[in-house]
Amino acid sequence: MRWQIETAFRDVEVHKGIWRSNNDATRLFAEMGKYLLFNMWQFERDQIRPERRLTFQEFRDWLVDEISQTINL
């Protein structure tokens, strides 16, 4: 269990956002979003067959496209 937690933190750090803020609330929101996105990706990977799994970047791009289509109804 500990190994999985440490690996998850390391993996999330790899996918950091490119912007920073001095506002604590903004940084907290960005951190929560980062962990939520990572956990959604892990959940999605567990639900589908190995040959159809998406990389993190592919999942992120797919999610952005889905949200954009929903907003632009």
Query: What tokens appear for 30 in the block?
Result: 């960005």
Range of the domain at 31: 2-71
What pLDDT, on a 0 to 100 scale, did the predictor assign at position 49?
Answer: 81
- Average pLDDT taken over every residue of the chain: 79
Query: What tokens appear for 13 in the block?
Result: 């750090």
Residues 6+ apart with CB under 8 A from 41: 54, 56, 59, 60
Amino acid, single-letter form, for residue 55: T
Q: Residue 37 phi/psi, 5° resolution?
A: -60, -45
How many domains does the chain divide into? 1
d(CA 69, CA 73) in angstroms, rounded, equals 6
Whose CA is closest to 37, among 68, 19, 58?
A: 58
| 64-71 mean pLDDT | 90
What pLDDT, on a 0 to 100 scale, did the predictor assign at position 65?
Answer: 92
Residues in the chain: 73
Question: What is the tens place of the pLDDT at every residue in 1-32?
Answer: 666 666 666 666 665 565 677 888 888 888 88
